[in-house]
């Protein structure tokens, strides 16, 4: 077991911090798509960098193109303008070098937990017995071994995402990309998942690019946070999070955390309003333009 | 005596343990030397638990049995008293007469011959249809060009009932046997093709992207994602296709056969063997039921993730 464990950890570590690799560089990124009313610019001139072993989040109002940016790093989208590079190699197709975790649970329902984790290794051509023991080791390290033979349908949402993260790490990717992975979870589960993810990262030191719209989540997890503007999305600010590591949930009450939160909050709410500009004006923001003083609305009319 | 009771009740817990095959090994501590009384108590508890868990199924089964018995009983009375009110039960055989003719037919092996031959035709036609329709559906679902080429042809041919193919089929194929197999093939082909296509259309794109980001190439995506994701739909198609295959086969055998259960039923009518008519019909019903049960069983084996709930 210990020998295998070491082997698997080496496998992952090799690809990330040990060789000092896993640098993401997106520069002058732009993406537009055609529509009936002419081309629509989703992202314009966005530039980000993730240094090897760094945890970086992108935060922004919904529809600002943060997922688009992440999908381009994953290789699912081609930028209209600019370049996406990982370790100085241009990204042009999805690859196991860039592990991806999706918001929608993306485990294969027809594969057991272990077979899901094995998938990337199978695609690499690893023989059955080796990948089986590698997957078991990984699941054991993540405390999921008891569920190795379960089908995903029987797992809770949090469990599915944990398996999803382990699956993405199994091939030893250079970087890990997460697209609002905890967005569909309830608040309590989300907090636990954040703790698990930060602890996991603490041990792996893999480069992570994390997309979220949750400010607390971004601050809690990240070394740096990029804040994006409303459509067309571009990088509005870059905030370094100087909180000590390892991170604990109790830090979320610290004055340092709250100050960061306040700063990011004002940046985001401005953009959220802009993003909803067509839908929300000053009147709408008040909820109602009249005060009914406790009377039912139907009476007033 | 006690041992005998134990032995007899031992097989019972096996089905009870089945619903949670995954949890069982971890939850049951290894206990080699349990007092027999204690284990008897446990078996009792397991049986009671099983009964409680399957209460709804047991109820359904019981009601079904009673309902079938009532059906047989009313058939018996209608036929024995030769009831005739517009619908004439005058020549309809009673269940007992049918049973007697079953015993007779089973004795001389004639019926079995017909049944075996029909089953062979079904198996051939259905398997060939599956082997062509499923891959074709998968390819049409994945490659737009293939779909654009094949879809119009299939749409024109699809509404033609398999029975309407009988004359054409007799012209096309050198032997009677081949033409009947062809009719069966035609009957099951389109339901299988359409359902496979439907399955391909409903594959979750996130799963495709997930497989790509894990390093899957085009062929691997096909094998590991598109195919298993379409399997539930494919099996729906197989079940429907099997039903249509039987309809087509019986019609074809009645029109142009010299053997087979459809021919047997039609011949019984020509020879005024009324109880054989009912016997043939019941055989067809049982065969149809068992063949769809077989498909469902295969589906359960092939798609373990669907049944493990």
* Per-residue pLDDT reduced to its tens digit, B130-142: 999 999 999 999 8
3-state secondary structure of A91: coil
- Min Cα distance A253 → chain B (Å) is 36
Nearest to A65 by CA among A93, A82, A49, A46: A46
**pLDDT(B262) > 90:** yes
What does the alpha-carbon distance between residue A232 and residue A42 come to, in Å, rounded to a whole number?
5
* HSE toward the beta carbon, residue B74, CA cutoff 13 A: 5
**Sheet containing strand A89-90, strands side by side:** A40-50, A24-33, A81-86, A89-90
| Residues spanned by the domain of A59 | 2-97+173-276
Comparing alpha-carbon positions, the chain A residue that sits nearest to B206 is A106
* HSE toward the beta carbon, residue A54, CA cutoff 13 A: 16
Same domain, B82 and B178: no
Give residue-wise pLDDT tens across range A141-183.
888 999 999 999 999 999 999 999 999 999 999 999 999 999 8
Query: Per the domain annotation, does A127 fall within a domain?
Result: no
**pLDDT(A290) > 80:** no
Same domain, B125 and B221: yes
When mean pLDDT is compared across A86-100, A217-231, B34-48, B229-243, the lowest value belongs to: B34-48
When mean pLDDT is compared across A8-17, A63-72, B89-98, B152-161, the lowest value belongs to: A8-17
- Of the residues A117, A119, A177, the best mutation for testing chain B's interface (the one with the most B CB atoms within 10 Å of its CB) is A119
Same domain, B10 and B120: no
CB contact at 8 A, B136 and B143:
no
Q: Residue B296: give its domain's CATH number.
A: 1.10.3720.10
Give the pLDDT mean for A190-203: 92
pLDDT at A10: 54
| Residues spanned by the domain of B283 | 97-307
**pLDDT(B257) > 60:** yes
**pLDDT(B267) > 50:** yes
- Min Cα distance A289 → chain B (Å) is 43
Same domain, B133 and B193: yes
Same domain, B46 and B13: yes
Greater confidence (B245 vs A205) lies with B245
Q: Identify the burial level of A186 via C-beta atoms within 10 angstroms of its C-beta, where 0-12 means exposed, 13-18 middle and 19 or more buried.
A: exposed
For chain B, say whether A75 makes contact (Cβ under 8 Å). Answer: yes
Same domain, B28 and B124: no
Instruction: Please report how the helices B55-80 and B36-53 are oriented relative to each other, as an axis angle in degrees rounded to 10.
Output: 60
Same domain, B102 and B241: yes
Same domain, B188 and B66: no
**pLDDT(A246) > 50:** yes
Give residue-wise pLDDT tens across range B43-67.
888 888 888 888 899 999 999 999 9
Given B41, B70, B92, which residue is the final one in a domain? B92
**pLDDT(B41) > 80:** yes
CB contact at 8 A, A268 and A215:
yes
Query: Per the domain annotation, does A54 fall within a domain?
Result: yes
Query: Per the domain annotation, does A242 fall within a domain?
Result: yes
How distant, in Å, are the alpha carbons of A202, B248, B251, B255 from that of B282? 69, 17, 16, 19
Taking every pair of C-alpha atoms in chain B, what is the biggest distance, in angstroms? 75
Give the pLDDT mean for A19-32: 84
Given B92, B113, B148, which residue is the final one in a domain? B92
Q: What angle do CA B25, B27, B32 make, to 5 degrees?
A: 70
Where are the strands (E) in chain A, listed by range? 24-33, 40-50, 55-59, 81-86, 89-90, 98-101, 175-179, 207-212, 224-228, 235-240
DSSP A147: G
Nearest to B215 by CA among A96, A115, A11, A97: A96
Residue B4's contacts (CB-CB under 8 Å, 6 or more residues apart) are none
Nearest to A134 by CA among A147, A143, A124, A121: A121
What does the alpha-carbon distance between residue B239 and residue B129 come to, in Å, rounded to a whole number?
13
- Of the residues A110, A124, A155, A168, the best mutation for testing chain B's interface (the one with the most B CB atoms within 10 Å of its CB) is A110
pLDDT at B7: 43
pLDDT at B35: 63
Q: Check A168 against B206: CB less than 8 A apart.
A: no
Q: Check B225 against A108: CB less than 8 A apart.
A: yes
Give residue-wise pLDDT tens across range B86-138.
888 888 999 999 999 999 888 888 889 999 999 999 999 999 999 999 999 99
CB contact at 8 A, A109 and A89:
no
How distant, in Å, are the alpha carbons of A53, A247, A293, B15, B214 from that of B43? 56, 50, 67, 12, 47
Q: Residue A228's beta-bridge partner residues?
A: A235
Q: Are strands A81-86 and A224-228 parallel, antiparallel or unpaired?
A: unpaired
Q: What angle do CA A61, A67, A68 make, to 5 degrees?
A: 115
Same domain, B125 and B16: no
Give residue-wise pLDDT tens across range A45-58.
889 999 999 999 99
Mean pLDDT of chain A: 87
Q: Give the per-residue SS3 of B229-289.
A: HHHHHHHHHHHHHHHHHHHHHHHHHHHHCCCCHHHHHHHHHHCCCHHHHHHHHHHHHHHHH
Q: How many structural domains is chain A composed of?
A: 1
Greater confidence (B228 vs A65) lies with B228
CB contact at 8 A, B130 and B237:
no
What does the alpha-carbon distance between residue A184 and residue A13 come to, in Å, rounded to a whole number?
30
Same domain, B44 and B68: no
Nearest to A70 by CA among A91, A53, A41: A91
Q: Identify the helix (H) or strand (E) that includes residue B290.
A: helix B274-302
Q: How many structural domains is chain B composed of?
A: 3
**pLDDT(B225) > 60:** yes
Q: Residue A91: give its domain's CATH number.
A: 3.40.50.300
Give residue-wise pLDDT tens across range A27-81.
999 988 888 888 888 888 889 999 999 999 999 887 788 888 999 999 999 988 9
Count how many residues are written for chain B.
309
**pLDDT(B11) > 60:** no
Q: Which residues of B touch A (CB under 8 A)?
A: 22, 26, 204, 206-207, 209-217, 220, 224-225, 228-229, 231, 303-305, 308-309
* Phi, psi of B80, deg, nearest 5: -65, -40
What does the alpha-carbon distance between residue A164 and residue A166 come to, in Å, rounded to a whole number?
6
Mean pLDDT of chain B: 87
Residues 106-145 of A with CB under 8 A from B: 106-111, 119-120, 123-124
Q: Check A171 against B215: CB less than 8 A apart.
A: yes
pLDDT at A287: 78
Same domain, B259 and B112: yes
- Of the residues A103, A109, A118, the best mutation for testing chain B's interface (the one with the most B CB atoms within 10 Å of its CB) is A109
Same domain, B141 and B76: no
**pLDDT(B12) > 80:** no
Q: Which of B225, B231, B308 sits opposite A151 (nearest CB)?
A: B308
């Amino acid at each position: 077991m210990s020998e295998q464990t070491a082997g698997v950890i080496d496998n992952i570590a090799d690809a990330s911090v040990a060789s000092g690799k896993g640098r993401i560089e997106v520069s002058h990124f732009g993406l537009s798509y055609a529509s009936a009313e002419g081309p629509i610019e989703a992202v314009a001139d966005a530039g980000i960098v993730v240094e090897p072993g760094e945890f970086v989040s992108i935060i922004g109002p919904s529809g600002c193109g943060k997922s688009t940016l992440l999908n381009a790093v994953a290789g699912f989208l081609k930028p209209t303008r600019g370049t996406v590079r990982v370790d100085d190699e241009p990204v042009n197709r999805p690859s196991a070098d860039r592990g991806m975790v999706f918001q929608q649970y993306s485990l294969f329902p027809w594969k057991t937990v272990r077979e899901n984790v094995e998938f990337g290794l199978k695609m690499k051509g690893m023989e059955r017995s080796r990948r089986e023991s590698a997957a078991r080791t990984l699941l054991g390290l993540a405390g999921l071994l008891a569920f190795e033979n379960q089908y995903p349908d029987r797992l809770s949402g949090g469990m599915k995402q944990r398996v999803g993260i382990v699956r993405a790490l199994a091939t030893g990717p250079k970087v890990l990309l997460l697209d609002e992975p905890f967005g569909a979870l309830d608040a309590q589960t989300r907090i636990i998942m954040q703790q698990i993810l930060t602890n996991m990262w603490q041990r792996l030191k893999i480069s992570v690019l994390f997309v979220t719209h949750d400010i607390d989540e971004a601050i809690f997890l990240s070394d740096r946070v990029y804040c994006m503007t409303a459509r067309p999305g571009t990088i509005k600010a870059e905030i370094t999070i100087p909180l000590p590591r390892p991170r604990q949930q109790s830090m979320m009450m610290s004055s340092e955390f709250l100050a960061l939160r306040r700063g990011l909050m004002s940046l985001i709410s401005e953009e959220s309003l802009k993003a909803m500009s067509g839908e929300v004006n000053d009147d709408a923001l008040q909820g109602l333009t009249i005060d009914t003083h406790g009377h039912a609305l139907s009476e007033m009319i | 005596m006690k041992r005998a009771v134990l032995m007899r009740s031992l097989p019972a817990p096996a089905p009870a343990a089945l619903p949670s095959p995954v949890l069982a090994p971890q939850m049951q501590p290894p206990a080699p030397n349990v007092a027999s009384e204690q284990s008897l108590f446990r078996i009792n508890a397991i049986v009671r638990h099983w009964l409680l868990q399957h209460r709804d199924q047991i109820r359904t089964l019981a009601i079904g049995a009673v309902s079938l018995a009532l059906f047989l009983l009313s058939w018996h009375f209608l036929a024995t008293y030769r009831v005739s009110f517009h619908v004439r039960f005058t020549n309809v055989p009673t269940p007992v007469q049918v049973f007697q003719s079953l015993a007779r037919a089973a004795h001389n092996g004639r019926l079995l011959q017909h049944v075996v031959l029909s089953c062979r035709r079904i198996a051939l036609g259905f398997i060939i249809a599956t082997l062509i329709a499923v891959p074709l559906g998968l390819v049409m679902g994945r490659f737009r060009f293939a779909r654009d080429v094949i879809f119009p042809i299939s749409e024109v041919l699809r509404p033609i009932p398999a029975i309407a193919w009988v004359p054409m089929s007799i012209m096309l194929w050198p032997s009677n046997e081949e033409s009947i197999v062809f009719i069966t093939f035609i009957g099951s082909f389109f339901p299988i093709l359409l359902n496979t296509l439907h399955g391909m259309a409903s594959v979750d794109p996130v799963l495709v992207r997930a497989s790509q980001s894990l390093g899957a190439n085009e062929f691997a995506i096909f094998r590991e994602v598109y195919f298993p994701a379409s399997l539930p739909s494919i099996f729906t198609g197989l079940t429907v296709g099997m039903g249509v295959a039987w309809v087509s086969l019986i019609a074809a055998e009645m029109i142009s056969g010299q053997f087979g259960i459809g021919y047997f039923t039609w011949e019984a009518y020509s020879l005024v063997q009324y109880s054989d008519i009912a016997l043939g019909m019941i055989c067809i019903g049982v065969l149809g039921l068992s063949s769809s049960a077989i498909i469902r069983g295969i589906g359960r084996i092939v798609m373990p993730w669907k049944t493990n709930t």
